[in-house]
């Protein structure tokens, strides 16, 4: 496994729409492994392939330690309710904001074996699913801000 380089807000690639994965190949499996390592090394809870410069519809999410969701070609098929909570992004370091998201979603995707799966999420998992799938469509969390916030780590950095 390898830690991949993140791309940041000023990179126009973050605004591009990612292409579907046609088949789960060893290269896609390696990408999933490397993305998980990269997400963990950067203390994130989610990462989309575009954030490491790969325009494929691949996402990893880990909101519970040790429980990594690997999603290939994810799409939200149902949502309900409303939540406004704090979000940040590995590609936008130091930026935080309260976003408007659904309270719960159902996502359909493929796993690393190519098997179709459904994931239901609420709370942080819902926000992470929405956030990472937005990345695949060229959207950033700043596009759905209800309110910008100060960096919660600012005082700890001094």
Residue 108's domain is classified under what CATH number? 3.90.45.10
Residue 5 domain-assigned (yes or no): no
The burial of 108, by beta-carbon neighbours within 10 Å (0-12 exposed, 13-18 middle, 19 or more buried), is given as middle
User: Which pLDDT does position 1 carry in this prediction?
Assistant: 79
| Assigned domain for 144 exists | yes
Helix, coil or strand: residue 119: strand
Beta bridge partners of 145: 99
- Whether residue 152 is predicted with pLDDT greater than 70 in this model: the reply is no
Please determine, for residue 120, whether its predicted confidence score (pLDDT) is greater than 60: yes
Active site residues: 132
Tell me if residue 42 falls in helix, strand or coil: coil
Structural domain count, the chain = 1
pLDDT digits (tens, 9 = 90+) for 31-51: 999 999 999 999 999 999 999
Give the tokens for residue 93. 């370091």
Residue 48 lies in a domain: yes
Per residue in 56-87, pLDDT (tens digit) is 999 999 999 999 999 999 999 999 999 999 99
For the chain, the average pLDDT equals 93
Domain limits for position 66: 12-152
What pLDDT shows up at residue 151?
59
Please state the rounded mean pLDDT for residues 80-101.
Answer: 94
Asked if the structure places residue 53 within a domain, the reply is yes
Residue 157 has pLDDT above 80, yes or no: no
CA atoms within 13 A on the CB side of 77: 10
């Amino acid at each position: 496994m390898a830690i991949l380089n993140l791309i940041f807000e000023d990179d126009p690639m973050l605004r591009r729409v990612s292409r579907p994965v046609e088949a789960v190949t060893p290269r896609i499996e390696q990408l999933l492994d490397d993305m998980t390592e990269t997400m963990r090394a950067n203390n994130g809870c989610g990462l989309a392939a575009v954030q490491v410069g790969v325009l494929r519809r691949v996402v990893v999410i880990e909101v519970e330690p040790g429980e990594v969701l690997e999603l290939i070609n994810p799409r939200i098929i149902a949502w309900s309710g409303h939540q406004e909570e704090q979000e940040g992004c590995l590609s936008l370091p130091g930026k935080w904001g309260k976003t408007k998201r659904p309270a719960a979603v159902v996502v359909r995707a493929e796993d690393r074996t190519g098997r179709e799966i459904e994931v239901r999420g609420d709370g942080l998992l819902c926000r992470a699913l929405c956030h990472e799938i937005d990345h695949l469509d060229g959207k950033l969390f700043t596009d759905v801000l209800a309110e910008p916030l100060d960096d919660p780590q600012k005082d700890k950095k001094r």
